[in-house]
Chains A and B, each alone.
Chain A
Amino acid sequence: MSPRTLATLVAMALLAVLPPVFYYTGNAFWLDLATRLTILAIAATSLNLILGYGGLVSFGHAAYVGLGAYAVGIPAYHWLYGGLEHLGLATTSGLVQIPLAMATCALFALVTGAICLRTRGVYFIMITMAFAQMVYYAIVSIEEYGGDDGLVIDTRSELPGLNLDDPIQLFGLAYVSLVAAMLIVRMITRSRFGMVLRGAKGNAERVQMMGLNTYAYRLTAYVISGAMAGYAGALLGNFTTFISPEMMDWTRSGELMFMVILGGGGTTGGPMLGAAAFIILEELLSHFTIYWHLPFGLLLIAVVLFTRGGLMGFFRGRK
């Protein structure tokens, strides 16, 4: 077993065991932290598919998380206050909300990706950010859903056999989802599709000359990644029960990017490690000082400068 696989498995084992232990020993706060960490790790894992493996530096990934959360919040709002019944969208059923979150994000990724992916480099970064800000301002402007004051989700998604009001069950769902997300990304990136995606990152012109339409492959990956981030957003909405446009802010997208880079892009476990390091450090440092952003920033810069390939770089095998 490679050191990387081992590190990933150990981290996942700790993540499975520690939060429930904390919870049952009266430290509910740490379970909350772990749930948030796990959900953000799903979002970071989805970003890793296009950023780490595809080399597409998307600076708008928080928009998908936000859209996913609103796909839970808006039906829950109408279920309580009326409206949209004729569309079947006044509901608290997770079996409607979660597919809605993923479909909305997939569609948004398809439409915006079709445009973004015609650009390269810095232009790609800027245009993905611009589309994300567009969603941000769109939600701000919709008074009915609270505008920039946000929206309270009164009732969590209802799923058969699950009660998401129980923090342990919510954490369990997030954890299983993270495992699934990591395995799906791993499977995709090792498949023939993944070889094209990774090849296009290394040398797009070469791959095109082999007869492969890199644009179509990248767009497909972009849509898969968006849908997966939307799923993470639906979980995040259920976790916080309060959603606001702030969760789509470009700084949130930056945090997701940072988790991927910090942990190690292009590896199965990297985004999860990055999300864990990010959330735990943020929490610990904020206990010491209200100026925690400064040491936090310096630490992040140090990791990026001194490890090749993020935290996963520590677990490089001999080669």
Chain B
Amino acid sequence: MSILETRNLMKSFGGIRATDDLTLAVEEGELHAIIGPNGAGKTTLITQLCGTQMPDAGQVLFKGRDITGLAPHKRARLGITRSFQITSLIADMTVLENIALAVQARAGSSFRFFRAASSVEAIQSRAMELLARVGLAEKAGMVTAALSHGEHRHMEIAIALASEAELMLLDEPMAGLGPEESARMVELLRGLKGKHTIVLIEHDMDAVFALADRISVLVYGHIIATGLPAEIRANKEVEAAYLGEEA
């Protein structure tokens, strides 16, 4: 059964069709990569899946339920989380506070005014555990803004993990990473496969072909092909889209 589906999704900005009749089905448990040239509408698709932008037409379904009009925080509660292409963390809070907030969001109501958040043992230890998992335990007390880009990308993953979401939408987790950091990220994502359904948007083709169960190719807001990595590699249409038809 598809955990996530879009049906004939449409989204325009001015005269530009960023999403054009996009229909996609993501199966439960798979790592589904979405690739495509720059400006193909990959991030626009993610924003519609997580609810920060509404499509002009079409539907988004999560586990068969229509969530097209649902607010982002409600989708998050259903079990959808995203990481951001441009690192999106809370820069003036510490690394631990960022992760602890994400853990706290899943641990009952946050309308608690009395006890200091830093003294809630269950939340703090879970946050530390997640930081250790992405290799950032020693940085826990540092202000987020002081960390490197690569470390920020790993924090994004820790936050996604904290949500315990069934569906993780990862928007270019490898963007701007050096070869070593990329390799570490690939290992981290490999460890998540099977435990979460992952929609991975990525430019790093080595990573995509190493990780993906299935790949969809997005061109001008439309899916032109979906299939196993080997099928996509052999697809002439995909090759044309990437290399340019005149080439």
Chain A residue, CB-CB nearest to B47:
A205
Contact present for B117 and A211 (CB under 8 Å): no
Q: Please, which residues of chain A bring their CB within 8 A of the CB of B115?
A: 191-192
Among A198-252, those with CB < 8 Å from B are 198-199, 202-203, 205-214, 217, 220
Contact present for A192 and B90 (CB under 8 Å): no
**Interface footprint category on A:** 20 to 34
Judged by a CB distance under 8 angstroms, whether B104 is at the interface is yes
Judged by a CB distance under 8 angstroms, whether A30 is at the interface is no
Contact present for B111 and A220 (CB under 8 Å): yes
Chain B residue, CB-CB nearest to A198:
B93
Contact present for B117 and A199 (CB under 8 Å): no
Q: Mark A263-298, 1 if CB is under 8 A from B, else 0.
A: 000000000000000000000000000000000000
CB-CB under 8 A for A211 and B77, given A191-B116, A195-B97, A199-B101: yes
Q: Mark A293-319, 1 if CB is under 8 A from B, else 0.
A: 000000000000000000000000001
Q: Please, which residues of chain B bring their CB within 8 A of the CB of A210?
A: 73, 76, 81, 101-102, 105, 159, 162-163
Contact present for A211 and B76 (CB under 8 Å): yes
The listed residue (A193, A203, A213) touching B112 by CB distance below 8 A is A193
CB of B203 to closest CB in A, whole Å: 22
CB of B42 to closest CB in A, whole Å: 17
Judged by a CB distance under 8 angstroms, whether A164 is at the interface is no
- What is the CA–CA distance of A231 and B83 in the complex, to the nearest angstrom? 43
Q: Mark B62-96, 1 if CB is under 8 A from A, else 0.
A: 00000000011100110001101000111111000
CB-CB under 8 A for A192 and B110, given A208-B73, A211-B77, A211-B163: yes
CB of B159 to closest CB in A, whole Å: 7
Judged by a CB distance under 8 angstroms, whether B149 is at the interface is no
Judged by a CB distance under 8 angstroms, whether B148 is at the interface is no
Chain A residue, CB-CB nearest to B165:
A211
- What is the CA–CA distance of A202 and B97 in the complex, to the nearest angstrom? 12
- What is the CA–CA distance of A214 and B120 in the complex, to the nearest angstrom? 21
Chain B residue, CB-CB nearest to A266:
B92
- What is the CA–CA distance of A122 and B101 in the complex, to the nearest angstrom? 28
CB of A90 to closest CB in B, whole Å: 35
Contact present for B117 and A190 (CB under 8 Å): yes
Contact present for A196 and B110 (CB under 8 Å): yes
CB-CB under 8 A for A187 and B113, given A199-B93, A209-B82, A210-B159: yes
- What is the CA–CA distance of A203 and B90 in the complex, to the nearest angstrom? 5
Q: Please, which residues of chain B bring their CB within 8 A of the CB of A195?
A: 97, 100-101, 104, 110, 117
Contact present for A192 and B112 (CB under 8 Å): yes
CB-CB under 8 A for A211 and B112, given A190-B117, A194-B117, A203-B88: no
CB-CB under 8 A for A205 and B110, given A199-B93, A199-B101: no
Contact present for A211 and B89 (CB under 8 Å): no
- What is the CA–CA distance of A251 and B171 in the complex, to the nearest angstrom? 46
- What is the CA–CA distance of A236 and B113 in the complex, to the nearest angstrom? 28
Among B119-135, those with CB < 8 Å from A are 120
Judged by a CB distance under 8 angstroms, whether A188 is at the interface is yes
- What is the CA–CA distance of A192 and B113 in the complex, to the nearest angstrom? 7
Q: Please, which residues of chain B bring their CB within 8 A of the CB of A205?
A: 52, 72, 88
Chain B residue, CB-CB nearest to A190:
B116
The listed residue (B50, B72, B101) touching A196 by CB distance below 8 A is B101
Among A174-202, those with CB < 8 Å from B are 187-188, 190-196, 198-199, 202
Contact present for A211 and B116 (CB under 8 Å): no
Q: Please, which residues of chain B bring their CB within 8 A of the CB of A198?
A: 90, 93
Judged by a CB distance under 8 angstroms, whether B13 is at the interface is no
Binding site for A on B (CB under 8 A): 50, 52, 71-73, 76-77, 81-82, 84, 88-93, 97-98, 100-102, 104-106, 110-118, 120, 143, 159, 162-163
Q: List 24 A-B contacts (CB under 8 A).
A: A187-B113, A190-B117, A191-B114, A192-B110, A192-B117, A193-B113, A195-B117, A196-B101, A202-B91, A202-B93, A205-B88, A206-B90, A207-B90, A209-B52, A209-B73, A210-B101, A210-B102, A210-B162, A210-B163, A211-B73, A211-B76, A211-B77, A211-B105, A212-B110
Q: Which 8 A-B pairs have the closest CB atoms?
A: A211-B76, A202-B90, A210-B105, A190-B116, A192-B112, A211-B77, A195-B117, A208-B72
A193-B112, A217-B111 given; 18 more Cβ-contact pairs under 8 Å: A187-B114, A187-B116, A190-B118, A191-B114, A194-B117, A195-B100, A196-B110, A199-B98, A202-B92, A206-B90, A207-B90, A209-B76, A209-B81, A210-B101, A210-B159, A211-B73, A211-B105, A217-B110
